[in-house]
Copies of this chain bind each other. A is one copy, B any other.
């Protein structure tokens, strides 16, 4: 396979998309998913009983791909597995830029028929150097153009993240979860069995795409490990890459076999190889979101020493434990800082070791507190704590503005953590705070553990980058 990046460009920014085999039985899932697509959308379906349903969606149907007018950039294939090879023949004959095979039931089923059909697809695509995405996957998501993997995804906006996923579930979940945390996708691909285009191809492509500032990956196992790590090293030298490896345990590896049929690697060996390439490891989807967010937003993290402010005395202990357990240090401040605090800090109900509690009247002095921490030589990073159970948005706004001012003026990384509770109201409040803080360039995390871990991983990223 010789990857033609111009063809991938067409597939990821399509002007014409054709869905083959969508049916009323699956509620015309793929045509519906593309309802916000800004280009030409056509259907190919030969079953007469489907014609009316397709036309009702406002989509023109053809009974052959060859009849679709003009060049086709992306075909989405949703036919039974036995029909898949014939559809691939048509795609090759029509010279479409790429085809995404949603169709599953191949090698991942461990059946003779599935394995044979997969072999046929692979051989046909290889012979024609055809750009096949999948099979057994959710394909391409480009929110700006409106090509989606699921109706629950957003469109009309764009972000800095490229996402590559061996799992359709994780591709969709990541895009939704990251968006809810204020981090948006530029381009994403779910590639499933990856029989033709594999992880390394998408990685190379996203590495060249200047709109993509950081890359997230969910992978179960690359087909060609050597090539994957070679490409990873090249791309990680240009932009941050964060990788969540599925199947880190024996039980996980067994589950992989029936999911995408990939070979599993031992977790420790995998992690070492990833770090060797200058990329960052993540343990799950939340961590992937958090680390990408931290890397995109934070100024370079130059050390592990953190000052934390905000919150009450009871929380301080939990803060200190969470940061220390993530491998960050909360050192004492300089005597100069303590002397300055002593001139105005209310002692009762607050403390100014580190964390600097502001559970009481001290919260009103946040600009002064942050300026002291900014100037403190013992401190590399500043973290603000806020609660989503706020009483006065006026005071909260004042605190946020002060923090944004310090963030803009200082070379030190500034992050925030919003503690909340498991309720729609608190999560809504937390999102309001997250949006305000992130508009001001301050990455905001939703728990102590998650914030501490994201900062720690970003520190590791800069340490690798600077060859330490």
Bound: A332/B347 CA distance, A: 59
Kindly report which residue of chain B lies nearest to residue A106, judged by CB atoms: B348
Contact between chains at A168 and B424 (CB < 8 Å): no
Within 8 A of B (CB), among A412-455: 419, 421-425, 427-428, 430-431, 446-449
A181: CB under 8 A from chain B?
yes
Bound: A217/B167 CA distance, A: 41
Residues of B within 8 A of A325 (CB): 248-249
A240: CB under 8 A from chain B?
no
Contact between chains at B176 and A323 (CB < 8 Å): no
Cross-chain contact of A329 among B251, B260, B322, B447 (Cβ < 8 A): B251
Tell me, rounded to whole Å, the shortest Cβ–Cβ distance linking A418 to chain B: 11
Tell me, rounded to whole Å, the shortest Cβ–Cβ distance linking A356 to chain B: 10
Contact between chains at B317 and A247 (CB < 8 Å): yes
Tell me, rounded to whole Å, the shortest Cβ–Cβ distance linking A106 to chain B: 9
Contact between chains at B259 and A313 (CB < 8 Å): yes
Contact between chains at A330 and B251 (CB < 8 Å): yes
A-B contact pairs, 13 of them (CB 8 A): A104-B349, A167-B314, A169-B312, A169-B315, A170-B314, A180-B423, A246-B318, A248-B321, A248-B325, A254-B320, A254-B330, A259-B313, A260-B313
A220: CB under 8 A from chain B?
yes
Residues of B within 8 A of A318 (CB): 170, 246, 252, 284-285
Contact between chains at B111 and A321 (CB < 8 Å): no
Within 8 A of B (CB), among A206-252: 220, 246-252
Known: A251-B329, A284-B449, A317-B252. A424 touches B427 (CB 8 A): yes
Contact between chains at A259 and B351 (CB < 8 Å): yes
A336: CB under 8 A from chain B?
no
A81: CB under 8 A from chain B?
yes
Interface residue count for A (Cβ, 8 Å)? Answer: 75
Cross-chain contact of A351 among B249, B258, B322 (Cβ < 8 A): B258
- B-contact 0/1 string along A302-332, CB 8 Å cutoff: 0000000001111111111111110001101
A177: CB under 8 A from chain B?
yes
A411: CB under 8 A from chain B?
no
Bound: A312/B150 CA distance, A: 15
Residues of B within 8 A of A220 (CB): 317
Contact between chains at A347 and B252 (CB < 8 Å): no
Residues of B within 8 A of A316 (CB): 255, 258-259
Tell me, rounded to whole Å, the shortest Cβ–Cβ distance linking A429 to chain B: 9
Bound: A447/B312 CA distance, A: 27
Known: A321-B248, A449-B284. A313 touches B424 (CB 8 A): no
Contact between chains at A324 and B252 (CB < 8 Å): yes
Contact between chains at A255 and B349 (CB < 8 Å): no
Bound: A94/B252 CA distance, A: 65
Cross-chain contact of A348 among B109, B152, B421, B449 (Cβ < 8 A): B109
> Which residue, of A250, A256, A260, A316, has the highest number of chain B Cβ atoms within 10 A?
A316
Kindly report which residue of chain B lies nearest to residue A425, judged by CB atoms: B424
Within 8 A of B (CB), among A65-124: 81, 104-105, 108-109, 111
Residues of B within 8 A of A320 (CB): 247, 249, 251-252, 254-255
